[in-house]
Amino acid sequence: GENVEQHPSTLSVQEGDSAVIKCTYSDSASNYFPWYKQELGKRPQLIIDIRSNVGEKKDQRIAVTLNKTAKHFSLHITETQPEDSAVYFCAASTGSARQLTFGSGTQLTVLP
Amino acid sequence: NAGVTQTPKFQVLKTGQSMTLQCAQDMNHNSMYWYRQDPGMGLRLIYYSASEGTTDKGEVPNGYNVSRLNKREFSLRLESAAPSQTSVYFCATRDLINIQYFGAGTRLSVL
């Protein structure tokens, strides 16, 4: 089955700096890669996603890049703000029912 | 529209007790999923249902059963709860472009 590895597990940045979270996947058949943000005690919320026919996607301060050859994808957050503090999960979608395999999460802390 | 609704929000069980976690959606999606979330381990797929009348095992199905009652409802049952099943359980649905939408979760403690 699919295996998704996510690094780092914790990340602290100063407000205004950039944050980068990286994920690798194992199944070359995976073709959809979402990123979810989860605040404490809340449900995961989709923040951005990328499909395998695209190398990069940007939405305001958030961008995701995908390297299919190397089987890795990354989340980039620029001009970080305290409200960006949360746990971020990457995932890869595969299988006939397009089930998601999640990474283990990154606790991002933005220091004021 | 409520989206994905899970009940109950919290539950405490004793070892060996049974319970059913309920999930209902009003998004008219065919596919539904049950995940569990444990600290430091992300979300792991327990069972899924690609469409009404079908269910399949995910990564961690042992100790659980599911029922896809109709298109709207997908329930998860613990027949004999164990402390290892203490977790937060999330139900999700998937739309036609593969985006998954999550319910608010059920926090389960098994003593």
Per-residue pLDDT of chain B (111 residues; tens, 9 = 90+): 679 999 999 999 999 999 999 999 999 999 999 999 998 778 999 999 999 999 999 999 999 999 998 999 999 999 999 999 999 999 999 999 889 999 999 999 999
Q: What is the pLDDT of residue B99?
A: 92
- DSSP for residue A39: -
Measured CB to CB, residues of chain A less than 8 Å from chain B are 1, 6, 9, 32, 34, 42-46, 49, 89, 93, 96-105
Name the token pair of B75.
């329930």
Going by C-alpha positions, the residue among B31, B35, B22, B48 that lies closest to residue B94 is: B31
What is the number of CB-based contacts under 8 A between chain A and chain B?
Answer: 53
Going by C-alpha positions, the residue among A112, A91, A86 that lies closest to residue A102 is: A91
Residues 6 or more apart from A58 whose CB is under 8 A from it? A64
CB < 8 Å to A45, chain B: 102
Contact A102 B42 (CB under 8 A): yes
Q: What is the pLDDT of residue B1?
A: 66
